[in-house]
Amino acid sequence: MSEMKAAQQSSTSVVSANVRQQQRDGEMEIDLGELFLRLLDKWYIIVAAALIGTLISGIWTFYFITPMYEATTKLYILNSTNSAINLSDLQIGSQLAADYPYVFQNWYVHEKVIEELGLSYNYKQIGDMVKVNNPSGTRLLDIIVTSPDPKEAQLLANTYAKVGREFISAVMKTEEPTVFQEARVPERPSSPSKTRNLIIGFLLGAIIACAIIVIDFIQDDKVRTADDVTKLLGLPTLGVVTMQSGMGGDNSRNYKGAKK
């Protein structure tokens, strides 16, 4: 019996060494069907990891990320010198609408807003809170302010519109843009997206679990079936000896006694 165990261990060592050599040579073949079955067999690990990822993402989103609010003031750009609006006025308005966003990047505008509202921000900090867009094909300017305080976001957006209009009139020598829409106090935060973060956490947890299972599958060089021996060594299998956990010990002595 000990000789049979030793032979089996020797065979296993040879096969394992052969597998490692094939891995080093880059010749390891991956059975996608078997890999899929391995993932299917470990479904509970994948689900558990996905739920843990969702939980971690939820805790991070709800307790560690500060909600941010957006308020938007809209300006309408139209350069006309009289009540009659012609095609030239519309064309000039479109050109000015493309230029005016740069007004709100001027340090003077930032400093003027800070001065009027008595804020403690410097112009760099407050500049990072505001962005100005000119939607394509329109003569509108969207002044968007983001702040952790919804009332502050509204106040800043409307003040930027006021200061920007004055700056345009005084420095650029054109008519002040018209306030198309004043900002309102936002009721809901614009970020973070709780649903998106929970979905990302769920997917990341599942992906990490699958990656670990796949790596373990690829690195697993154990021989479990006769087909594994044939595949790895290229030798036909003449027979299979099943090792039973009850062999040896008392069973062996009973067998000897029966023989006598």
Q: Tell me if 118 is assigned to some domain.
A: yes
Q: Does residue 100 sit in the same domain as residue 167?
A: yes
| Across 159-163, average pLDDT | 95
Give the domain extent around 116. 69-181
Q: Identify the DSSP state of 245.
A: T
Flag whether 17 is in a domain: no
What is the pLDDT of the chain when averaged over all its residues?
Answer: 79
Does the pLDDT at position 250 exceed 60? no
DSSP 79-122: --SSS---HHHHHHHHHHHHHGGGGGG-HHHHHHHHHHHT----
Nearest CA to 61 out of 202, 195, 204 is that of 195
- Same domain? For 176 and 209 the reply is no
Q: Do 86 and 154 lie in a common domain?
A: yes
For residue 227, name the pLDDT band (cuts at 50, 70, 90).
low
Is position 225 within any domain?
Answer: yes
Q: What is the pLDDT of residue 226?
A: 64
pLDDT by residue (tens digit) across 21-60? 444 454 556 778 888 999 999 999 999 999 999 999 999 9
* 48 & 97 share domain: no
Question: Which is nearest to 17 in space by CA: 218, 240, 232, 238?
Answer: 232
Q: Supply the pLDDT for residue 154.
A: 96
Question: Is a pLDDT exceeding 80 seen at residue 124?
Answer: yes
Instruction: Report whether pLDDT(135) > 80.
Output: yes
Rounded-to-integer distance, Cα 150 and Cα 154, Å: 6
Instruction: Confirm whether 230 is domain-assigned.
Output: yes
Single-letter amino acid code for the residue at 153: A
pLDDT confidence of residue 30: 74
Q: Is 57 in the same domain as 77?
A: no
Q: Tell whether 171 and 77 lie within a shared domain.
A: yes
Is 233 a residue whose pLDDT tops 70?
no
Q: Would you mind telling me the total number of residues written for the chain in this entry?
A: 260
Question: Does 86 lie in the same domain as 146?
Answer: yes
Our count of domains for the chain comes to 2
* Residue that finishes a domain, picked among 155, 181, 207: 181
Quick: pLDDT tens for 196-220: 999 999 999 999 999 999 999 888 7
Which residue has better confidence, 186 or 15? 186
